[in-house]
Amino acid sequence: MADAAVKAPAAAEEVQDLTDGFHLVIDAMKLNGIHTIYGVPGIPITDLGRMAQAAGIRVLSFRHEQNAGYAAAIAGFLTKKPGVCLTVSAPGFLNGLTALAHATTNCFPMILISGSSEREIVDLQQGDYEEMDQLAIAKPLCKAAYRVLHAADIGIGFARAIRAAVSGRPGGVYLDLPAKLFGQVMNAEAGRKSLVQVIDPAPAQIPAPAAVKRALDVLKGAKRPLIILGKGAAYAQADDAIRTFVEKSGVPFLPMSMAKGLLPDTHPQCAGAARSTVLKDSDVVMMIGARLNWLLSHGKGRTWGDAPKKFVQIDIEPREMDSNVEIAAPVVGDIGSCVAALNEAMGGNWAPPPADWTGAVKAKRDENVTKMAPRLMNNKSPMDYHGALGALRAIIAERPDAILVNEGANTLDLTRGVIDIYQPRKRLDVGTWGVMGIGMGSAIAAAVETGKPVLCIEGDSAFGFSGMEVETICRYSLPICIVIFNNDGIYRGVDVNSAGSDPATTVFVKGARYDKMIEAFGGHGVNATTPDELKRAVNAAMDSGKPTLINAVIDPAAGSESGRIGNLNPQSALRKK
């Protein structure tokens, strides 16, 4: 155990080896391969962080719990092990809840561990320090929630949290540890025996042979088939099997944002540059780890055109089937097992899709790429989005193992379409909810968990949610280059308040120099006004591996409201009518 044994005072004739809640928590994590904690220290978990660090666990202290939670969530996505976020009670716990709900919605395994007030005081509402019934508040926002009251149950509590986080459809789990638990003392040998090493926490779920046959029969009968790869496919780490299936089928594929790179965006079957065409004109759509939520217009409406559709869906959660439209061929199981079964059942003589379909998709893709190319090569000052992204696109092409973190409105939408990704799990972004503020936490976790360089492309508004974490990046000397697309505001920096002297609600300080922020903490700051300057600065940062922040000056008039989802703003929708 991690320095767990302490000597009790000599009573009569024997001295007993004892341990306490602090050490049992640490040993339970180490026993189950949890070697990193993201969090913010404070009462009552400050000493837990200190002791965990002394015991060899890497403890990264953030400036805000929400950002630590986003780091834990993306750590879960990258490793398939639950990322751990450690917070103080009440306000700290509440700050971590957005990240916990974000993890659950996106199916990222994460455990939020919070210290809390004692049950007897909370239940009688006697007014303890930061008193709150945290378990009750957390339950609706996560996959599972547990409270441990006795040191002897710490092992079981962690085992249940780990298994809940990663088994079936992964998600967020809350683990409540009251302050008094940490100081509880018990026999060291009994404590060691109480710990549980979780065996096979996410067992394979094999699809039914009949479901596999049905799915292939539907796909085989298609004249205009399409495969959609979702971030669930990326999470599965069944990269070789997925590539084999896509290439063997010959079907055009459309990667959702965080599935980009499962096969390179430059792959001849990739239909990313012909998204509108393939969604509208396809007749059979196979979804692998993707959901028919708002990101895919719920599988209906103008996005999908008038052509009748049949859907094949591969998902580990049976309740996901028929959530928006009828699923003609549901295949329930884990992605790796399902795709392996499809590959085996296809045999060696699978007929490719009709040439007129694949030819039409290729023609549309080539047309759109050709049309976009000149916009990516301009060297305007101030920059527009396309000129800036053209420079960054070239850098990722030269450094395919770098991880791209991306958030914003226009910055998110345009980056997703412009920058090609070449390897799996190299693009991290806002996920299913479109949460702004994930940038710094995701970038930190990506650097810590993979050791790879990180390029973080941020809108100036999105950066504001987590910007103080540049100090965290500098403190841990992480190889992160942040590029802020600064157009002086939310969407655009040109709005005017016609009713008074205050700035418009979407306008920031003109000419702000975000690069100066990181210099305050010993990092390197650069102000870039042209695509050429931007490219040179990013290349230098990636070569150095040192914390860098580049203020990329974008024309304040560039961009559109809410990027491509302005129709979700009720007033915008009314204006269009």
pLDDT of residue 563: 57
Sheet containing 83-87: which strands, arranged edge to edge? 58-61, 36-39, 83-87, 110-116, 172-178, 144-147
Q: Is 123 helix (H, G, I), strand (E, B) or coil?
A: helix
Rounded distance, CA 137 to CA 95, Å? Answer: 12
215-225 b/e (C-beta count within 10 Å ≥ 16 → b): bbebbeebebb
447-484 b/e (C-beta count within 10 Å ≥ 16 → b): bbbbeebbbbbbbbbbbbbbbebbbbbbbeebbbbbbb
Lookup: tokens for 277: 């065409």
pLDDT of residue 529: 97
pLDDT of residue 561: 76
Rounded distance, CA 323 to CA 302, Å? Answer: 19
Q: Which amino acid is at 30?
A: K
Name which of 409, 435, 434, 405 is nearest 419 in CA terms. 405
Q: Check residue 500 and report its DSSP letter.
A: S
CB of 331 within 8 A of CB of 312?
yes
Lookup: tokens for 441: 């936490």
Q: What is the CATH number of domain 209-367?
A: 3.40.50.1220
pLDDT of residue 12: 45
pLDDT of residue 291: 97
Convert 225-277 into a string of H (helix), E (strand) and C (coil). Answer: EEEEECHHHHHHCCHHHHHHHHHHHCCCEEECHHHCCCCCCCCCCECHHHHHH
pLDDT of residue 483: 98
Q: Please, what CATH class does the domain formed by 6-194 belong to?
A: alpha beta
Residue 82's φ and ψ, nearest 5 degrees, are -65, 125
Lookup: tokens for 571: 């007033």
pLDDT of residue 88: 96
pLDDT of residue 266: 97
Query: Can you list the residues of the chain whose pLDDT is less than 70?
Result: 1-15, 562-577
pLDDT of residue 564: 62
Rounded distance, CA 221 to CA 561, Å? Answer: 42
pLDDT digits (tens, 9 = 90+) for 436-463: 999 999 999 999 999 999 999 999 999 9
Domain 209-367 identical in fold to domain 378-576:
yes
In the chain, where the domains are located? 6-194, 209-367, 378-576
pLDDT of residue 72: 98
Rounded distance, CA 480 to CA 484, Å? Answer: 13
pLDDT of residue 559: 81
Residue with tokens 């298994």: 163
**Alpha-carbon separation of residue 257 from 422, 434, 529 (angstroms):** 13, 11, 28
Name which of 246, 287, 321, 417 is nearest 429 in CA terms. 417
**pTM of the shown model:** 0.94
Name which of 475, 416, 403, 465 is nearest 440 in CA terms. 465
Q: Check residue 424 and report its DSSP letter.
A: T
**Would you identify the CATH topology of the domain 378-576?**
Rossmann fold (3.40.50)
